[in-house]
Amino acid sequence: MPRDRDQTGRDPSDPIVEVRNVSVTYDLEHREAMVLDDVSIDLRRGEILGVVGESGSGKSMLANAMMDAVEEPGITTGDVRYYPESGGDPVNVLDLSDKELKELRWEEISMVFQGALSSFNPTMSIRGHFKETLEAHDYDVDEGMERARQILTDLYLDPDRVLDSYSHELSGGMSQRALIALSLILEPNVLLMDEPTAALDLLMQRSILSLLDDIKQKYDLSILFITHDLPLVAGLADRLAILYAFELAEVGPSEQIVRESQHPYTRALLKAVPNLDAPIETMKPIEGTAPNPAHAPDGCHYAPRCPLATEECHEEKPPWFDVADDQRTACFHHDDAEDAVPFEMEVLQS
């Protein structure tokens, strides 16, 4: 039976952003450093995609590459295509001029960075940030400020108080929600969120996450949510993409990844998750360290830490294996991952 299509004739599961073979490198004095290695992933229309990995795995670099915002001397190669809501031709993001990029960013694809206090100018009121953004993109300021008030209200904030405040006068949770509101002011279709709750306490993290699904529905958003905390995003995201050492390890539906991951790194990550309800002996840190960007190993990047690694793993990059419906993993030994890295589901329950 054919799936429903929207007014543009597109399947709702079609990508809104398509990333193909994207790498980011830095030319160091003695050798090249790879900080994103041949990554291919789709952000589907209307979904929340959680991108999970340890610090330094390339998560933020992926988001920056999707907006062609990697700072020099970083070099981005590959293909990033954005598919507009209007149904027009796809936009080749990495080929855009500076003027075209200015229009794409904020208006089509917007980003929420980690730590609102570092994103806001401390000498400018929150109202000033909204007005500056609207004016920079030639939007009607009065109409835009009415929209700002509505978004702030939708995020359970008092518009008058927030708009008249400076960032340091707001709590961490309030300033982060104000930053989310600012990212939506030009009505983008895609929201990239880079560790947006990392600086907040657990209660505020949960509060903001509970708002995101509502915001996604109301403003018809597709969201890429970056985090190092797999359980935090597992209940929110439709799908999860697991990054390890600059390359993708596993991609699939959230519940499927959590319950039946087929990659030893994903399983080790789940086993290392702290949980107040689980005995301490059930948790185990991942032994070893992630590779240096300038000295990434040949073959599978996880091989030096993997209990299943063979000579083949150290010498060859594993291809993608389809292991379940809409789930794929990059591991030669995915059939043995469950036995090699067992974990109790209770560890993931809160």
Dist. CA 329–CA 335, nearest whole Å: 11
Q: Is the pLDDT of residue 243 over 50?
A: yes
Q: Letter for the amino acid at 276?
A: L
> How does pLDDT run across 74-86, given as a tens digit for each residue?
999 999 999 997 6
Q: Pick the closest to residue 196 from 187, 184, 42 (CA basis).
A: 184
> How does pLDDT run across 97-146, given as a tens digit for each residue?
999 999 999 999 999 987 666 789 999 999 999 999 999 999 999 999 99
- What are the phi and psi torsion angles at 237 (to 5°)? -80, 150
> How does pLDDT run across 26-38, given as a tens digit for each residue?
987 667 888 999 9
Dist. CA 330–CA 66, nearest whole Å: 22
Burial of 278 (0-12, 13-18, 19+ CB in 10 A): middle
**Quick one: which H or E segment has residue 265?**
helix 264-271
Q: Are strands 109-112 and 190-194 parallel, antiparallel or unpaired?
A: parallel
Dist. CA 169–CA 286, nearest whole Å: 40
> How does pLDDT run across 262-319, given as a tens digit for each residue?
999 999 988 887 654 556 666 677 888 888 887 888 899 999 999 999 999 999 999 9
List the structure tokens of 25: 């490198």
Dist. CA 145–CA 162, nearest whole Å: 12
* Contacts by 172-178, CB closer than 8 A, 24 or more apart: 172/116, 172/117, 172/199, 172/200, 172/201, 172/204, 173/200, 173/204, 173/207, 173/208, 175/116, 175/117, 175/120, 176/116, 176/200, 176/204, 176/208, 177/152, 177/208, 177/211, 178/116, 178/120, 178/126, 178/152
Dist. CA 236–CA 266, nearest whole Å: 18
Q: Letter for the amino acid at 261?
A: S
